[in-house]
Amino acid sequence: MSDASEARAKAIELCADTMSELIAFWGFKASTGRIWTLLYLSPEPLPADVIAERTNLSAGAVSMGLQELKQWGIVDRAPSSGERKRLFRAETDVWAIVRRVIRERELRLVGRAVQRFTDASAVLEKAIAANPDDTELTFILGRVRGLLGLATIGYRLVESFAERGLFTLDPIRDALRSADG
């Protein structure tokens, strides 16, 4: 193996290991990080058998990983002229990937939290209407409304990042202004 080949293999291995750790932290399978990294660093699309060989993953793990990555829109099939094997390539706009994942996962999670805190508030308001002297219900409602406010701000922050790729503190500033007013 030449020095260039060794350097290339070592760099890809280091990047794949790093991406595997990062992607596992986000709750994805580490193998999908290895597959995406290999495809991202490859100048041309690769067939599944080459992906398996270079990542040391089984054919089944590569197949499942490619399927998951395709569902997220992070990998797609590349057109191949005359090739019998299916070729795959990585989405190369990393910010688009991050925004897509945040929009699909985190935004949905925070939106669900907003809805549940809203539901909890409604339950408590109804209970307080029937039991106006119950100070514990009033106390809990105040805390739930605080959680709802925080979740709502979080939703706006995540939504802003997912849509524009920008993180802005405007939702927090707006909430503070309305709290002062």
Name the burial class of residue 167, with classes exposed (0-12), middle (13-18) and buried (19+) by CB atoms within 10 angstroms of its CB. exposed
The boundaries of the domain holding residue 100 are 95-180
Residues 145 and 87 grouped into a single domain: no
Total domains in the fold of the chain: 2
Say if residue 100 is in the same domain as residue 86. no
Instruction: Report the amino acid identity of residue 119.
Output: D
Last residue of a domain, one of 58, 76, 92: 92
Sheet containing strand 46-47, strands side by side = 46-47, 87-90, 75-78
- pLDDT surpassing 90 at residue 178: no
CATH number of the domain residue 34 falls in: 1.10.10.10
pTM, rounded to two decimals:
0.70
- The string of pLDDT tens digits covering residues 117-139 is 999 999 999 999 999 999 999 99
* Same domain membership, residue 85 and residue 16: yes
Q: Give residue-wise pLDDT tens across range 49-108.
A: 999 999 999 999 999 999 999 998 899 999 877 768 899 999 998 888 888 888 888 888
